[in-house]
Amino acid sequence: MNLWQAVEPSQLISLSILIPFIGALLIVATGKHPNIREAVTLITATVLFSVVLAITDYTFHGVELRLNVAEPIPGLGISFEVEPLGVLFALVASFLWIITSIYAIGYMRGHNEENQTRFFCCFALAISSVMAICFSGNLLTLFIFYEVLTLSTYPLVTHAGNDAAKKGGRVYLGILLSTSIAFLLLAILGTYSLTGTLDFQAGGIFDDSHSKTVLSVLLVLFCYGIGKAAIMPFHRWLPAAMVAPTPVSALLHAVAVVKAGVFSILKVVIYIFGLDELKDLATTDIMLYIGAATILISSCIAMTKDNLKARLAYSTVSQLSYIVVGALLASSIASAGAALHIATHAVGKITLFFCAGAIMVASHKKNISDMVGLGRQMPITMAAFGIGAISIIGLPPMAGTWSKWYLTIGALEADKLFIVATLMISSLLNIAYLLPIPVKAFFNTQSGESKPWTWAETQEAPLPILIALSVTSVGCLALFFYPDPLIDLINLIPGVSTHADMTISLEGEG
Amino acid sequence: MNFILDYYNYWIVVFLMMAGFYIVISANNLVKKIVGLNVFQTSVFMLYISMGKVSGGTAPILVDGVTLYSNPLPHVLILTAIVVGVATTSVGLALIVRIKRAYGTVEENEFKNQDDAI
Amino acid sequence: MFEQHLIALPILLPLIAAPITLILGHSRLSWMFATAISALACYFSWHLLTATLTESVLSYAVGGWSPPWGIELRVDVANAFVLLAVSALSTLVLIYSKDSIEKEIESSKHALYYTAHLLCLAGLSGILLTGDAFNLFVFLEISSLATYTLVSLASDRRCLTAAFRYLIMGTIGATFILIGVGMLYMKTGTLNMLDLAIRIDVYESSRTINTGLAFIMVGVSIKLALFPLHMWLPAAYTHAPSAVTAFLASTATKVAFYVMIRFIFTIFGLNYVFEEMGMDLILMVLAIVAIFKCSYMATVQSNVKTVLAYSSVAQIGYMILGISLVSVTGLMAGLIHIFNHALMKGALFMAVGAVFYRVGSVEISAFKGLGKQMPFTMAAFTIAGLSIIGVPLTVGFISKWYLVTAALEQQHWILAALVLVGSLLAVVYMGRVIEAAYFQKPPASQDSNQVKEAPWLMLLPMWILVLANIYFGIDTSLTTEAASSASEWLFQTSSIAAANSAEVSQ
């Protein structure tokens, strides 16, 4: 199982960051030969996934992996430390990178995009910084690679090079950089000046000696500083980023980048504040309300969007706030639900984006109103879309069920009924804006006349795209039936557990 | 009245300083600006030189029977400062010559107009 | 013998070499000679820094006249640190100059350029090393006169008026310093800095000394282009030859900043300047206004050199802000930023110079499409630009980190937030140029084959600075160690002087 036994365990961390980085260099070097370049991408992605698997293996065996790289500020270094939440995120990101690479090859070629080398290179760089974020051992490291991630994805967003792309890129960079510099850095420095440390520690680094008022302010700064979590009103960058090619939207703006945001919030909540400290802060409730509002408002906006990618983008904004809310509920089971949602939303949403891209490549349709009856031409794609949609909604037998389940129990446990209500209403809204798309594609026809359907009618997307979206939709199913490895991993996070205190939850239900 | 008379050297310094400063700011002609700058600097030389004077003291040259000398150090300092001033003036004048060649004028508003026209 | 005179060498070498360079006359010959001299001076500065790290203070009596009567040269960690930065940048800029000035300065004046550059270096080193207040004025004028000449060497005629304006402002500033020093001498009868420090403390509330402080602070502020006395800087930086701008931006204002530190901490003493005279509040307000006003000005310029010039004024605001916090960390942040800003601005102006070398213009519109045509130059520009913004893994981040830490140390939360918000403006002004370079097509009129990558002699020093930007952003042991010991040392001497004077007055 463990292919990397020869390597010293802690060096696996540097490998996980360096492999995509070296991959990026090799991609540039082989840029003139697209086939070799794509092979490099795939091999890099696979090797990276095997490294992450090896790290996972060590985590389950309780081996602590730690690595200090440099010390830019005395006493405060760039250091990495493996912990279960990071492993979970790394697993999701590295696995989906393989799938997305396959997909991207089909998409980029099918779409005849320019500057493909730059595209694959920046993609690999982004993954490299995501890995560094996953395994970061303190806030400084997290911040550094958070910024690197923003910068490395900027060329991807502006890939098309036209005015719309430039405008989108400006909004993207503007919001992400300014929130991170103005709020996040301030919050980090404030934390540092209060506690003298930025290390992630189980149970948090704040204690009762710190003023609750200051901590409340810090919490707000952190929540808004991590702009990648797209809490309203700083969510505009995410729809703006949809000008990027679909593989980018799929992996980065449904998985890697946005999840880096909510992952950072979870990290801050669990390892900097500590769940217990969080309960006592005045702003926790305020941020909860804002999170709940984000869930509902962006679902409503999503309904008004006819452009498929825009609708998915607002859906992402809404789903991200599930995780933020889960983190801020400050209950162990809600945090578990939030962590699980990172994975389940990832497979669900990436499936939907893959489908959107497939539709764009095969039929050049961007608007939902044009997709009526499309199920006849693209049955596989539309079926996958249906699976993804059900998973996002949170219905069995799809992966999304579990995370919503735990989130709801967590909300009950924390006695926050309005959150429970929000989650339920949101599910209904999800049904309203996602399900009609596959339903109309299959059961309505554009012309009104119905002919018996034959395979000859199909005009599916290229094979790599189909492979990718099939794998992720199977993933949605698989994670419903076998969520155990992920749940085991989540239970390893200190202070977080999927085992509800049943008495409380029953009371709540009653 | 004594206040004015006792400190007459400082009044001269202040007057020269302000006059020079005013010329630097207000003059439109670059040569006049340099002249103003010189007046301005001269006032500082006066400030130094006059403060080296010790009442009742003679020039700082060893002479039998004299015990009280003026302080020579400020004078020496000012020699250096004068050299610096001369150097500044010459660089300034050299620049004016080149400006005249390039623009055909040494009036500030005129060459400003020429630059703006581009 | 050699060891003994080591302190004087960074001044003497370029001073003696300057006329020789002029006599050599030949462009390439004088280039090689000047570069070698500058490198040698850099080597000696390195020696001085290592010596001060172990021995803390070295003193040298010029001509054998012992202080406080003679002129003393004094090296401690603070000035050795700045000296090293100045001489290293001078060497890099000289390497860069060879190609750059070929395009921007008439060939008959090349030797003159190197001569003036060496004189300027000698003056700057002199300012840094001298322990005598009047001598400081003299060196200040040596470097300034050389600077006016350097600025006026460009082929664009607007450089002449810029140089003239700079000369007027600079001379007024220098004369103000001279008046201030005169006031101090009038009251204390000494010019040696340490001696002055002890005696000034005795006469704390004297009106003469207060006036002296005011004159000196205004004079130095003109020299370092502190807002609102910065008006000479954008014009001078814009129209000077690129190599000159790179040198001035990374050294001259930094040295003026050092002069301010020296006057505040060593001569006047921080208790007097900050607690009695309340300079910290004045400086803080000016610094904040400088950061916002000039960053804003930078966002609306169309000439990239002007953008960077305004950015320089804003960055000076950050340094001054560091001092105005009156804490060891704050001063340290200022000192680190001297070094770091020299690295970033040096690289940026060199990149802009390289663009001028190939394209012949430095308007933002000229940068269109350069990302493809001059990839190395624009990559250098981008990295250094990110450093200005303060993106992690670059030196700009380290500066900002310490500055905000220093502000938070004293619970100045709003100040910390302002510093960070101010750096967002840098995102705008750097972003405009970078976007033009990478995301806009070159103008159709331009023959795209003409524009190639800059010659390697320009790229080499540029990339050395860029790599230094990254290296010192990750491994900061050298900069933080030197800056923190310098800052502690300055605070210590400031309080020692106060203690000594207490003894004297008893």
pLDDT at residue C320 is higher than 50: yes
What whole-number distance in Å separates Cα of residue A204 and Cα of residue C65? 63
Percent pLDDT > 90 in chain C is 18
Residue bearing the bigger pLDDT, A293 or A256? A293
Considering only CB atoms, A182 lies closest to which of C389, C424, C431, namely C424
CA closest to C475 among chain A residues: A72
H or E element that contains A424:
helix A417-434
Q: What's the pLDDT at A446?
A: 61
Over the range A143-152, which residues count as b (16 or more CB within 10 Å of their CB) and which as e? bbbbbbbbbb
pLDDT at residue A79 is higher than 80: yes
Q: How many other CB atoms sit within 10 Å of the CB of residue B112?
A: 13
Residue bearing the bigger pLDDT, A52 or B6? A52
Q: What's the pLDDT at A505?
A: 42
CA closest to C156 among chain B residues: B102
Considering only CB atoms, C420 lies closest to which of A78, A169, A185, namely A185
Considering only CB atoms, B95 lies closest to which of C141, C152, C191, namely C152
Task: Report, as an integer, the average pLDDT of C359-380.
Answer: 84
Considering only CB atoms, C392 lies closest to which of A144, A155, A169, namely A144
Three-state SS at A207: coil
Show residues of chain A in contact with C330, CB under 8 Å: none
HSE of A241 in the Cβ direction (CA atoms, 13 Å)?
31
Return all residues near C311 (Cβ < 8 A) that are at least 6 apart. C294, C295, C298, C345, C388, C426, C429
pLDDT at residue A155 is higher than 70: yes
Give the confidence band of A232 by pLDDT, cuts at 50, 70, 90. confident
Q: What's the pLDDT at A202?
A: 81
ipTM of model: 0.92
The reply to whether C172 touches chain B by the CB within 8 Å rule is: yes
Mean pLDDT of chain C: 85
C408/A190 CB distance under 8 A: yes
Considering only CB atoms, C392 lies closest to which of A147, A155, A178, namely A147
Burial of C443 per CB tally in 10 Å (0-12, 13-18, 19+) = exposed
CA distance C333 to chain A (A): 12
B33/C168 CB distance under 8 A: yes
CA closest to C137 among chain B residues: B81
Residue C74: phi, psi to the nearest 5?
A: -135, 130
CA distance C349 to chain B (A): 24
Give the confidence band of A451 by pLDDT, cuts at 50, 70, 90. low
Q: What's the pLDDT at C445?
A: 61
B115/C158 CB distance under 8 A: yes
Block residue for tokens 């199982």: A1
Give the confidence band of C270 by pLDDT, cuts at 50, 70, 90. confident
pLDDT, one tens digit per residue, over A163-192 is: 788 888 888 888 888 888 888 888 988 888
pLDDT at residue A503 is higher than 60: no
Q: What's the pLDDT at A508?
A: 41
Q: What's the pLDDT at B36?
A: 92
C175/B84 CB distance under 8 A: no
The reply to whether C499 touches chain B by the CB within 8 Å rule is: no
CA distance A194 to chain C (A): 9
pLDDT at residue A449 is higher than 60: no
pLDDT at residue B66 is higher than 50: yes
Q: What's the pLDDT at C74?
A: 85
Contact residues of A toward C, CB < 8 A? 70-74, 78, 140, 143-144, 147-148, 151, 155, 158, 161, 166, 169-170, 173-174, 177-178, 181-182, 185-186, 189-190, 192-193
Asked which of B75-79, C24-28, C213-217, C274-278 is least confident by mean pLDDT, the reply is C274-278
C interface test, pick of B44, B88, B113 with most C CB neighbours within 10 Å: B88
CA closest to A221 among chain C residues: C417
**Is the pair C, A in contact (3+ CB pairs within 8 Å)?**
yes
pLDDT at residue C289 is higher than 80: yes
pLDDT at residue C99 is higher than 60: yes
CA closest to C426 among chain A residues: A178
H or E element that contains A358:
helix A332-363
Return all residues near C211 (Cβ < 8 A) that are at least 6 apart. C180, C183
Mean pLDDT of chain A: 84
Task: Report, as an integer, the average pLDDT of C446-451.
Answer: 62
Q: Is the dihedral of CA A69, A70, A73, A75 positive or negative?
A: positive
pLDDT, one tens digit per residue, over C128-170 is: 988 888 889 999 999 999 999 999 888 888 888 889 989 999 9
Q: Could you give the number of structural domains in chain B? A: 1
Q: What's the pLDDT at C447?
A: 58
Show residues of chain B in contact with C141, CB under 8 Å: 84, 87-88
pLDDT at residue C205 is higher than 80: no
Q: What's the pLDDT at A71?
A: 77
Q: What's the pLDDT at C148?
A: 92
Percent pLDDT > 70 in chain A is 95
CA distance C145 to chain B (A): 7
CATH assignment at residue B6: 1.10.287.3510
Show residues of chain C in contact with B81, CB under 8 Å: 137, 178
**pTM recorded for the entire structure:** 0.87
CA closest to C402 among chain A residues: A73
Show residues of chain B in contact with C163, CB under 8 Å: 95
Q: What's the pLDDT at C107?
A: 80
CA distance A73 to chain C (A): 7
pLDDT at residue A447 is higher than 70: no
C389/A193 CB distance under 8 A: no
A interface test, pick of C299, C378, C397, C410 with most A CB neighbours within 10 Å: C397
- Cβ proximity of C256 and C233 under 8 Å: no
Give the confidence band of A506 by pLDDT, cuts at 50, 70, 90. very low
Give the domain extent around B100: 2-117
Return all residues near A384 (Cβ < 8 A) that are at least 6 apart. A351, A354, A355, A469, A470, A472, A473
Considering only CB atoms, C408 lies closest to which of A144, A169, A189, namely A189
Percent pLDDT > 90 in chain A is 2
Q: Which of A199, A138, A145 is nearest to A20 (CA)?
A: A145
Q: What distance separates the 2 farthest-apart alpha carbons in chain A?
A: 74
Q: What's the pLDDT at C500?
A: 54
pLDDT, one tens digit per residue, over A18-44 is: 888 898 888 888 878 888 888 888 888
pLDDT, one tens digit per residue, over C217-252 is: 999 999 888 888 888 888 889 888 888 999 998 888
The reply to whether C450 touches chain B by the CB within 8 Å rule is: no
Q: What's the pLDDT at C121?
A: 92
Q: Which residues, in sequence order, are bridge partners of residue A79?
A: A68
A186/C431 CB distance under 8 A: no
pLDDT at residue C450 is higher than 80: no
Q: Which of A64, A12, A60 is nearest to A485 (CA)?
A: A60
**Is the pair A, B in contact (3+ CB pairs within 8 Å)?**
no
Burial of A338 per CB tally in 10 Å (0-12, 13-18, 19+) = buried
C476/A161 CB distance under 8 A: no
Q: Which of C140, C150, C72, C141 is nearest to C118 (CA)?
A: C150
